[in-house]
Each structure stands twice: as C-alpha cells, then as structure tokens.
A and B are shown apart, each in its own frame.
Chain A
Amino acid sequence: MSDVSFTPRAASVTTETALTRRIVIGVVMILIAVLLFAPLIAVFAEALRSGWAASLEGLASPDAQAAIRLTLIVAAIAVPLNAAFGIAAAWAITKFDFRGKALLITLIDLPFSVSPVVAGLALVMLFGTNSWLGAWLIAHDLKVVFAFPGIVLATMFVTFPFVARELIPVMMEQGRAEEEAALTLGASGWRTFFTVTLPNIRWALLYGVLLCNARAMGEFGAVAVISGKIRGETTTMPIMIEMLYNEYLSVAAFSLAAVLALLALLTLLLKSLLEWRYAGLLAATRRH
C-alpha cells in the first residue's frame, strides 16, 4: 500500500483532531523553550557577552585548540567501538533466547547508574598506581590513568549503553520473523544483517550514535577524575571549560561550551541530511 491509497478518511483516523494537535504542539513548544532553549541561549549569550572577537580569541588559544582536537579524537575512537558493541549486544539479546537476559541488560545499563564521579574513581582504583594492575602497566610503560587511554576508557564507560539501549527496544518490537524468512530463502548471515536488519534499525542506530557522540564529547565527571588536567595534553573540552571558568575567564569558557553545542548540532545536521537524502526510501518503508 502506498501513499496514493490514503483516502482523506484514512489520514484523519491516524492522527488527532486539529485542535488537539495545536494544543499539544503549543504546550511542547513552551516547555521546550523553557527547559531546553533558554539554557542554550544563556550559554551563547554568555559566550558573546564581550563580542565575537573576544569569543574567537578565547577559542584561538593553543590550549583550547588542543582540547577541541582531543575531544574529537576521543569521540572518534569511543563512539565507533561502542556502536559495534551495541549492534552485537542488541543482536545477541533480541535474536536469541537465553537465560539471564534481564541481568545482562541491567549490566549493560550499569554505567548509567554509576555516578560519573564513582566511575572515574573505579577506573583509578583499577588502573591507578595503588592497584596491582596499574602498577604492572606502569612498570611496562603503559600509562592509562592521567593519559589518553584513561580518557578513552572513561568516555567509553559512560557512553557504553547508548547504542545497545536504542537498538534493543526497536529490535524487540520487530521480532525475528524477517531475518528468519531471509535465511530460509537462502541469504547468508551477513547478507541478512546488512539487507534486512540494518535497514530496519538504521534510525535507532543513528539516534544511538548521536546520543553516544553527544555524551562522549560532553562528559566531564568521570574524565575529570582520570585526566590529570595537564594543559594542552589531557584536557578535553569540558575540562578546559571548567578550568577557564575557575580562572574567571567566563567568555572563553562559554565560547568553548558553545562550540561543543555546535559540534553536537553538526552531527544532527548530518542526520537531517541523511533523512532528506533518503526521504523517498523512508516514506516507502514507513507506510506499507
């Protein structure tokens, strides 16, 4: 069934009355404005308080540049790894029936239930000089805490559940009939995955990756404990922002925060672009 077959009646029964729609949209707009946009505007206003020039000057410092670079590299490593894990986990959990599934999902959720401060503490306890593992690593010249690997690990820890948790409900909803059909028809496992599963989950996957990426770039608590805060080396953007703020450099701090927000928007722009590019395909898959 395609768009063409939608009679006016069919369209109206699958949505709410115009009045309800308007009221709901109105309420949502107001709440979003107060809860989401107001703080954002506050950040941008603070960043531009002394004009564009001052704001850009804050961003041009070598420390700020190094922080932006580090944040992007960390996200570029942590997000794909977590995405790969998320797909694997969602496949194992939704396509197979095994004991202890609830426990497993809860273990995947665990990083969310751990306060970032505690997450950082746990990593320090594991890899710090005062643990046998940390001592062994340091003896072999492998620095984890207060160095790059520690930051990546902390970031992966806090963003660990995102992709898996986005995919699991969607793949549960879809069941496994389609994959089974494809296999019965002779498709290989990988082919089934790429031609059947992936198209079905791509939006959830995209949302998961976006969330994961946003959080990876914005994470402060856990990374702060493990970074060592060495200027230009182990300071990610959120840590740099905190340092600048504590040094009474508000404009520079908020400018960097605004850049972080813009970076998140950039990934969202990408999403919109994809949506637009595949609009036709989307319409075809969405209403049949």
Chain B
Amino acid sequence: MRAGILRSPSPLPGFGLSFGIMMAALSVVVLLPIMALVGRGVMIGPAELWEMVGTRRIRAALALSFRAALVASLFNLVFGLVLAWVLVRYRFWGRRLIDAAIDLPFALPTAVAGIALTALYAPNGALGQMLTPLGIKVAYTEFGIWLALIFIGLPFVVRTVQPVIEEIDREVEEASATLGASRAYTLRRVILPMLAPALLTGFALALARSVGEYGSVIFIAGNLPFKTEIAPLLIVIRLEEYNYDAATAIGLAMLLISFAMLLVINIIQIWSRRRIGDV
C-alpha cells in the first residue's frame, strides 16, 4: 500500500493511518455529497447544462461573483499580511483585542454581518452619512459586495500567515542584516518567500469562500439583475422555481471554476516547494 502510493520512501511512520483517516473523512463528508451533485449533473447531460448556464444573465452574475471575490481577496491578501505581521511583531495598545476579534467574521452568521454592514453603509447609516456627501455610494452597489466579501474573508489570510510568522527564526533576519541587507530587502527577499505558501493558501481560501458567499451579500447588494445580482442568488432563484436541475447547473459551473482556480494555486505551491527541494 505504502510503496504503491508513495513517490519516494519516507522514514516517517503513520502513513497508512493518517492517509486512511484523511481519505475516509474526505469521502464521507465531502466527496459523497459532491458526487451526488456531479451525478445529477451527469444525468442532466453536458449540453443541457451548458444551455442552462449560458444565458446572458447567468454569465453576468458569474462574472460579478468572481470579479468581486477577486477584488476582495486581493485586498485581504495585502491587508491580512500586514495585519498578521503587526499582530505578531509589534507591541501596541489594543493588540490583544484586535487579535481576539479577527475570527469574529466567521462566528457572526453571514446574514447578521450583511445586515450590520448595510446598516452602517446605507445612506442613512453611521458611515454612509459620511460617504454620501463625497459622492461615494457603498450599500446597494458592487462596492458594497466587495465590502461584505472583505469582511467574511478577512480571517483567512491573517490566520494562515500568523502561525508561520510566529515560527520565523529571528536569526535569519539578523543574518540578513549582518550581511548588509536593508530591512526592506530582508522583508522582500527573505521573509516574504517564507510566508509565500501560507499567503497563497489564505488567498485561495478567501477567494473560494467569497465566490460562493450568499448570506451577507444579498442584504447589501441590491440584487438588481445584470447589475448587482450574484451567482449564488441565481441558484436560490432556480430553487424557488423548483428547478433543481438549473440550480445544479449553476452550482456545478461555480464549483468547476473555483476548483480549477484552487488546483492551479495548489500546483504552483507544491511545484515551487519541490523545486526548492523541500518536502
């Protein structure tokens, strides 16, 4: 078994056990339901599936969902990195409070997050009131969707990068400085490469989660067809029509695109690892 799967022998034990637990859990919890979905898609047939997702309206919604998710995740990538760095390396008033609150976007049900954000950024909200005179509309625009997605994706990058920063050996930085590198150079050429895998992971997860997000977005989006209508909303609409097939079709389309994106990111990551000679 071991020899059959392993690419090269490892002196470490526990492959059978860990691989077994992983595959069993993966199969029951994830793959089985996904197979049910894919199976239904297969029964519908590719031509019909394509027809169901090929309309102008669904394309517009898919484009919006992926665009907004990308914008929000890129923001979270940069902001999450800085935030994680600040939380681990700097000591300042309020650090523990911020550190403690990072996970809250996960704990708040998405609908509550959506309602709270809309309350803040609606033209009569606390922050909306300040932005409206400046001509900035947040709630009920695509900008509002970005905001909701930034909120729900915030913990991903921070929490994947944070433990890696905590493990960084300061000796490395000292060595770099001793050898004459500027601080900026050290950060860019020494620290950043060390954080890259975690950053990429966090980004990928935030992206994937943002694409499928429904609960928080529908409150702040306005949901106007062709303008602020996200793809998950169209799934719900198809379900309301009792059209399970069309709902499955849109769900599968989203799943395929996200899966392809994640796969590319993961391949890049593993490939770069292997090139360095680790793992």
Contact = CB atoms under 8 A, between A and B. Distances in A.
Chains A and B in contact, CB within 8 Å? yes
Interface of A: 1, 10, 13-17, 21, 24-25, 27-29, 31-32, 34-40, 42-43, 46, 81, 84-85, 87-89, 91-99, 101-119, 121-123, 125-126, 131, 153, 156-157, 160-161, 165-166, 168-170, 172-176, 179-180, 183-184, 189, 192-193, 200-201, 203-204, 207-208, 210-211, 214-215, 217-221, 237-238, 241-242, 245, 253-254, 257, 260-261, 263-265, 267-269, 271-272, 286-288
Nearest to A28: B86
Contact of A176 (B12, B212, B255, B273): B12
A40 B103 CA distance: 12
Contact of A97 (B32, B154, B279): B279
Contacts of B14: 91, 95, 189, 193
B22 A14 contact: no
Interface string B94-110: 10101111111111111
Contacts of A183: 11-13
Given A95-B10, A204-B163, A153 B29 contact: yes
A260 B108 contact: yes
Nearest to A16: B183
B224 interface: no
A172 to B, nearest CB: 6
Residue with the greatest number of chain A CB neighbours at <10 A, chosen from B104, B127, B160, B244: B104
Interface residues of B, number: 117
Interface in B10-61: 10-15, 17-22, 25-26, 29-34, 36-37, 40
Contacts of B204: 109
Contacts of B89: 15
Contacts of A40: 101, 104, 108, 116
B151 A42 contact: no
A106 to B, nearest CB: 5
B106 A264 contact: yes
5 contacts: A36-B101, A40-B104, A108-B26, A204-B163, A215-B107
Contacts of B214: 115-117, 221
Given A38-B126, A207-B163, A269-B100, A218 B34 contact: no
Contacts of B173: 13-14
Main secondary structure of the interface of B (DSSP, over half): helix
A221 B110 contact: yes
Contact of A112 (B113, B198, B208): B208
Contacts of A165: 160, 201, 205
A21 B111 contact: no
Contacts of B32: 126
Interface string B250-272: 01001100110111001101110
Contacts of B21: 84-85, 88-89
Contact of A287 (B113, B169, B205, B232): B169
Given A115-B232, A260-B107, A126 B212 contact: no
B220 to A, nearest CB: 11
A36 B171 CA distance: 34
Given A95-B10, A117-B235, A121-B247, A170 B278 contact: no
Contacts of B178: 13
Contacts of A103: 263
Interface of B: 5-8, 10-15, 17-22, 25-26, 29-34, 36-37, 40, 79, 82-83, 85-86, 89-90, 92, 94, 96, 98-113, 115-117, 119-120, 126-127, 147, 150-151, 154-155, 159-160, 162-164, 166-167, 169-171, 173-174, 177-178, 183, 194, 197-198, 201, 204-205, 208-209, 211-215, 231-232, 235-236, 239, 244, 247-248, 251, 254-255, 258-259, 261-263, 266-267, 269-271, 273, 278-279
Given A89-B21, A170-B163, 19 more contacts: A24-B90, A36-B105, A36-B154, A40-B108, A40-B116, A92-B22, A99-B7, A102-B263, A109-B205, A112-B258, A117-B251, A118-B247, A165-B205, A169-B197, A170-B198, A176-B12, A183-B11, A215-B106, A264-B104
Contact of B15 (A92, A131, A257, A268): A92
A25 B98 CA distance: 11
A121 B98 CA distance: 36
B166 A286 contact: yes
Given A97-B8, A172-B278, A217 B13 contact: no
B97 to A, nearest CB: 9
B74 to A, nearest CB: 15
A112 B207 CA distance: 9
A268 B170 CA distance: 26
Contacts of B201: 165, 168-169
B212 A118 contact: yes
B209 A263 contact: no
Contacts of B82: 24, 27-28
